[in-house]
Chain A
Amino acid sequence: MIIANNLSLVYPDKTQALIDVDLNIKAGELVYITGPSGSGKTSLLKLFMGIEYPSTGSLSVMGKPIKNNSKGNIRKIRRNIGPVFQEFKLIKGRTSLENVMIGMRFLGLTPKCIKKEANEALEKVGLGHKKLSKVEHLSWGETQRVAIARAVARKPSLILADEPTGNLDYDNAINILGLLKSFRNENTTVIITTHATHLIMEEQNATFISVDGGRIRIERKG
């Protein structure tokens, strides 16, 4: 699913975000990327999405190289990714349903199918009753669930969730992690970044990537 060799990322302002990262994440894995703020977790996700390009080394996502690939091909890769952004990136002035549907419109589905799948996704995240609410009228937790619904409704091969537990209390954080984990299957890899390691300590069947100072350490359980 994701293979990185000697991957490094240096931002234009010379900040070294990642150093010599070697990774091999397989299809269907559940991966937690942990580390303190500014450790490079989000940078890693940005590389996976082709938002940033590797400075050195190689990176392929779903068999496609990220470095030296055309913008068009990067977008094609993104169509197979369900991202849940830290700041959600939902479109204001639109309903929950419209926000979920907009991420599916360019996947070649019929309008009827898009609506059905979007409704189902909202039901799955427990927001079927708020599908016609404008996203700016939802609570933080509800907004996050809409973002998750948008990600999973696309039936992606890879779900990337950036700090989905940030700003949530313990119970809600556990619920959100449980919800994201529920979308993991043999075809769908789920990668979650979090700095709240206490929430995932009990996890027995996952890969843990801890990032610190741009370097990573991998531990597999189960």
Chain B
Amino acid sequence: MRSFLFNMGYFIKESGRIIRLNLLSNIFSVIGTGLILLLLGIIVTGTSVGNRLVVMLNEEAEVNAYFSKELTSEEVEQLIEKITNLDGVRALRIVDEDEAKASMQEILGEEAKILELFDDNPFEAFIEIRIDIEVMNSVIEELRGVDGIEYVRDNQEILEKIKDITYALEILGYLMIAAVGITTVIILSHMIRQGIYNNKEQINTLKLLGSPGIFIGFPYILTGVFLTLLGGIIAVIAMVLLINGAYNSLGATIPFIPLPPKDELITNMVLWLPVLSLILGFFGSLFGLSSIGEKS
């Protein structure tokens, strides 16, 4: 450990030498890593926006429970209390006949004239219940078993689709992140292997002199981490420009997409992209270093 600390200056110098030895190739590697991390940033941002959309859709997941007309207002109160206590029920409210009619008029638009043909309001009061999409089936089952509930309109098919989309988006996000992460590690390990190959005589001499593996390998780890960090910084700069541009142009044109706050996205990028690049750089270098082996 003491020897390791004493040599920190040497390691940094060696790392600089390794970079200079194959400067052009290393510049391309930095650009390549930067572009991959940029791609990762875009995917994560997209996933973040997607997740927000999914959360919003989840929160909107609701079923309507129609209750018996014979129930007194006191019994309706009791019914509401009973439903409120069910697992998976987020919120509920009573929609009376007038509100039900008004909302249908809104949906029908100009066609709402048809409702004027009825002498009386044809709509019934119901309980609008927001539910947790994850436990949708059990909530609906329980609702159907509650005394006083005559019918549950559940939109189960749509809710199932929302659930599937949520799941697919999540899986896609993870897959993309894994793919980009693995690509970065492979590129970097290849770059490190190239550096090792260029310095194989020196490495062999150090082994013959009795150098420990960490002494030989650490400059390569430093090189990998430094180059990936540079790539990460390039990616951060590009991401900040991209997010700013996207918010300026998209924010106004598609307001229905629930974009997360711009500052929150930028802060996340500035924080995690360099950290991630450090981690990928470290593991990529370690992976590349495995080619040094112990063979003398």
Which residues on B sit within 8 Å (CB–CB) of A108? 2-3, 6
The tally of CB-CB contacts under 8 A between chains A and B is: 60
- Contact A110 B6, CB 8 Å, known A51-B296, A91-B201, A91-B202: yes
Give the interface of A toward B (CB within 8 A): 49-51, 71-72, 74-81, 83, 85, 89-91, 102-103, 105-111, 150, 154
Task: Name the CB-closest residue of B to A111.
Answer: B6
Task: Name the CB-closest residue of B to A71.
Answer: B294
Contact present for B6 and A109 (CB under 8 Å): yes
Tell me what chain A mostly uses at the interface: helix, strand, loop, or mixed: loop
Which residues on A sit within 8 Å (CB–CB) of B7? 105-106, 111
**Cβ 8 A contact of B209, one of A78, A110, A111:** A78
Which residues on B sit within 8 Å (CB–CB) of A91? 201-202, 205
Number of B residues, CB within 8 Å of A: 20
Known: A51-B296, A89-B208, A105-B10. 9 other contacts (CB 8 A): A79-B210, A81-B210, A91-B205, A105-B7, A105-B215, A106-B3, A108-B3, A111-B6, A111-B10
Contact present for A75 and B201 (CB under 8 Å): no
- Contact A83 B208, CB 8 Å, known A51-B296, A71-B294, A107-B3: yes
| A74 to B296 CA separation, bound complex (whole angstroms) | 10
Shortest distance from the beta carbon of B154 to any chain A beta carbon, whole Å: 67
Shortest distance from the beta carbon of B65 to any chain A beta carbon, whole Å: 72
- Contact A106 B208, CB 8 Å, known A91-B201, A91-B202, A111-B6: no
Tell me what chain B mostly uses at the interface: helix, strand, loop, or mixed: helix
Which residues on A sit within 8 Å (CB–CB) of B207? 75
Which residues on A sit within 8 Å (CB–CB) of B9? 111
**Cβ 8 A contact of A49, one of B2, B3, B208, B212:** B208
Residue in A50, A85, A102, A154 whose Cβ sees the most chain B Cβ within 10 Å: A102
| A72 to B215 CA separation, bound complex (whole angstroms) | 13
Which residues on A sit within 8 Å (CB–CB) of B296? 50-51, 71, 74
Shortest distance from the beta carbon of A2 to any chain B beta carbon, whole Å: 17
Which residues on B sit within 8 Å (CB–CB) of A77? 210
- Contact A106 B211, CB 8 Å, known A111-B6, A111-B9: yes
